[in-house]
C-alpha cells in the first residue's frame, strides 16, 4: 500500500499513476511493496525532522525512514516541495522530473541502493533514470 499525505498546499496530480509507477520500479528490482507513506511538506517541517531525528541542522529535499524487511519495501518518505522546486531550477529540469526523481530515490534506498561513494551515486542515478523512463517523463 502506498499512501500520500500532504502537510503543505501541494498535491500530486495523479496519485494512482504515481503508485503504479512506484510498484513497477519495485517489482523490476525483484522486491515487493509493503507499506510506504509519502509525506509532502515544506522546508520548516522537514528541517524540524532533520534536527530532531538525525541531528542535522540543514535543509534537505528528502528524509526516509526505512522499515523494509528483506524484499518487502516499507517506510516513511518525507519530501520538501520547496527544496524540490529549488533543486529543479538549479539542475535545469522540470519540477515534475525532479519530484519523481526524489520520490523514487527513497524507494531505491529501501531496496538497498546507497549513495555515499561516487560509484554508489552513479548506480543510484542510473537506477533513478531507469525508473524515470518507465514513467515516460
List per-block mean pLDDT (blocks of 10 residues) for the chain, which spans 137 residues: 97 96 96 98 96 91 96 98 97 96 97 95 96 84
What's the sign of the alpha-carbon dihedral 105, 110, 116, 119?
Answer: negative
Can you give the pLDDT at residue 83?
A: 97
74: left (phi over 0), alpha (psi -120 to 50) or beta: beta
Which triple of cell numbers denotes residue 13? 496530480
| Closest to 38 (Cα-Cα) out of 85, 87, 75, 81 | 75
Say what the alpha-carbon torsion angle 50, 120, 71, 96 is, to the nearest 10 degrees: 60
Can you give the pLDDT at residue 135?
A: 85
| Closest to 26 (Cα-Cα) out of 85, 121, 113, 92 | 113
Report whether 47 belongs to an annotated binding site. Answer: no
Can you give the pLDDT at residue 65?
A: 97
Report whether 109 belongs to an annotated binding site. Answer: yes
Can you give the pLDDT at residue 35?
A: 98
Architecture per CATH, domain 2-135, reads as 3-Layer(aba) Sandwich (3.40)
Can you give the pLDDT at residue 136?
A: 76
Report whether 105 belongs to an annotated binding site. Answer: yes
- The pTM of the full predicted model, rounded to 2 decimals, is 0.93
Amino acid at each position: 500500500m502506498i499512501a500520500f499525505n500532504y502537510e503543505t498546499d501541494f498535491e500530486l496530480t495523479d496519485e494512482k499513476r504515481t503508485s503504479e509507477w512506484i510498484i513497477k520500479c519495485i517489482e523490476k528490482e525483484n522486491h515487493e511493496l509493503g507499506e510506504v507513506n509519502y509525506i509532502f511538506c515544506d522546508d520548516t517541517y522537514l528541517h524540524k525532522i532533520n534536527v530532531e531525528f538525525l541531528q542535522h541542522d540543514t535543509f534537505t529535499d528528502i528524509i526516509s525512514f526505512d522499515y523494509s524487511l528483506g524484499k518487502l519495501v516499507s517506510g516513511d518518505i518525507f519530501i520538501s516541495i520547496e527544496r524540490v522546486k529549488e533543486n529543479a531550477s538549479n539542475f535545469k529540469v522540470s519540477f515534475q522530473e525532479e519530484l519523481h526523481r526524489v520520490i523514487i530515490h527513497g524507494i531505491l534506498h529501501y531496496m538497498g541502493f546507497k549513495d555515499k561513494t561516487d560509484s554508489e551515486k552513479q548506480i543510484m542515478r542510473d537506477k533513478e533514470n531507469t525508473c524515470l523512463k518507465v514513467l515516460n517523463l
